[in-house]
Amino acid sequence: MKVAVLSFAHVHAAAYVELLRDRGDIELITTDPDAPPGDPTRGKALADELGVTYRAGYEEVFAERPQAVIVTSENSRHRQLVEQAAAAGAHILCEKPLATTEPDARAMIDACEQAGVSLMTAYPVRFHPAFTALRHTLADGSLGSLLSVHGVNNSRPPGLERPWFADPALAGGGAIMDHTLHIADLLDVLLDGEQPTYVYAVANTHLAPDHEDEPRVESAGLLTLTYARGLVATIDCSWSHPSSHPTWGGLTLSCVGERAVVEFDAFPPLLDGYDTTQATTRWEPAAVDLNEAMLDSFLTAARTGQRAHPDGETGLRTLRTVLAAYESLRTGQPVVKAAAAW
C-alpha cells in the first residue's frame, strides 16, 4: 500500500516515518514543501537523513494516488491537506488537533464523508493496553461510578524544536491546544462521548520564550470540567518539563470511583540509570509503542474500508473542549453549555 506523510512540521512526523519506512507492506513517500529554507530538521534534508522517498510538493504526491496519507503539518494547515487528500481518494490520519476552529473541523469531516474515505484523529494513548484495562475496570463495575478524573499531560516546550508551536496563527494556541486533547480523548472514551457542561480555564505564559516582537502563547494551563452526571475532571496541560527531565513528556490519569481509585501512567520510567558513554541519566521506555499501535489500526482501516477510530467526530468533540477553554480564558468566566448543544 502506498502511504504518504504530508509535512514534517509536527514533532511526531519523524517517528511515524521511521515506523513505516522499513515495513515490507508499505511504499512510503514524503513531502514537506512548507519547510523553512535551509532547516536541517525538515524538508528534503530530513527525508535524506531518514532514507525515505521525497517529493517536491503536495501535488506531486497526490498525482501518485496514495491509498493513505498522514497529515503532520502545522495545525492551521490541516484542513487544506485533508480536503486535498479526500478529493484524491486517500484515507487520512490527521495529527491532533484535528483543526484549530470548529468550522474547519466540520468541513474536514464532511469532505471525507462525501469522498467515502476514513478520517482518523491521531490519539495514540487510547491504544495503551493499560488504558484498555482501565476501560474494562469501569465497564465491569469494579470501579463503580466514576466520580472524578485528574489528568496530567506535560512535556518540554515543543516550540524549542518547532517554533511554529508558539505561533498562534499556525498552532491555534499554546499548551492548552497542544496538551488538553490527549486527556480529553481519554475522557471521551471513558464517558462514551459525553461532553462537559462546564469548562473553566486558567493559564499563564511564564515558561514561554520572551520575544517582544511576537505574540506569546500560554505555556501552562489548568482546566476544570464538569459533566451532567456529576463527574468533575481537571486537566493539567503544561509545557513544564525542563530539558534535564528524563522523558520528553508524560501523561497520567487518576480516576476516583465509588469503589476504588485507579492510576494510569502512559509512560512509566521502567529503567533509570547512568549512561557513562554520554554522561547522562538514561531512561528506557515501556515496550509498548503507542504510535505503532495507532498506525496499525489506521492501516487496517485503510485496507479494509472500515471506519477508523478515533474518527473525525471524536476530534471535533475534543476540539470543542479546547475552544471552550479559550473562551473561558478570554472572558475570565466558566463556559456553561448543555451537553446536547455541543
Q: What is the pLDDT of residues 80-139, one digit of tens each?
A: 999 999 999 999 999 999 999 999 999 999 999 999 999 999 999 999 999 999 999 999
What integer pLDDT is reported at residue 145 of this predicted model? 94
What integer pLDDT is reported at residue 207 of this predicted model? 73
pLDDT per residue over 53-75, tens digit each?
A: 999 999 999 999 999 999 999 99
State the DSSP string of 197-246.
Answer: SEEEEEEE-TTS---TTSPPPPSEEEEEEE-TTS-EEEEE------TTSS
Element (H, E) at 5: strand 2-6
DSSP bridge pairs for 94: 71, 121
Q: What is the mean pLDDT of residues 280-294?
A: 75
What integer pLDDT is reported at residue 215 of this predicted model? 60
Q: From 57, 94, 85, 342, select the one nearest 196 (Cα to Cα).
A: 342
Q: From 117, 14, 118, 128, select the one nearest 72 (Cα to Cα).
A: 14
What integer pLDDT is reported at residue 161 of this predicted model? 85
C-alpha cell at 152: 496530567
Residue 42 near residue 9 (C-beta atoms within 8 A): yes
Say how far apart CA 318 and CA 202 lie, in whole Å: 18
Q: What is the mean pLDDT of residues 33-60?
A: 95
> In degrees, to the nearest 5, what angle opens at C-alpha 60 toward C-alphas 102 and 37?
80
DSSP bridge pairs for 264: 253
Say how far apart CA 20 and CA 25 lie, in whole Å: 9
DSSP bridge pairs for 73: none
**What's 308's DSSP letter?**
P
Q: Is 169 exposed, middle or buried (0-12, 13-18, 19+ CB in 10 A)?
A: exposed
What integer pLDDT is reported at residue 56 of this predicted model? 95
pLDDT exceeds 80 at position 171: yes
What integer pLDDT is reported at residue 181 of this predicted model? 97
For 68-82, 150-164, 274-288, 306-320, which range has the lowest pLDDT when averaged over its residues?
A: 274-288
C-alpha cell at 129: 493496553
Bigger pLDDT: 339 vs 256: 256
Say how far apart CA 92 and CA 76 lie, in whole Å: 16
Residue 125 near residue 290 (C-beta atoms within 8 A): yes
Q: From 314, 276, 282, select the one nearest 194 (Cα to Cα).
A: 314
Q: How far is CA 209 from CA 22, 158, 239, 295, 306, in A?
A: 38, 11, 12, 33, 44
For the chain, give the mean pLDDT.
Answer: 92
What integer pLDDT is reported at residue 283 of this predicted model? 61
Bigger pLDDT: 241 vs 201: 201
Q: pTM, whole model, 2 decimals?
A: 0.93
Calculate helix-pair angle for 175-190, 129-139, nearest 10 degrees: 50
% of the chain with per-residue pLDDT over 90 = 80
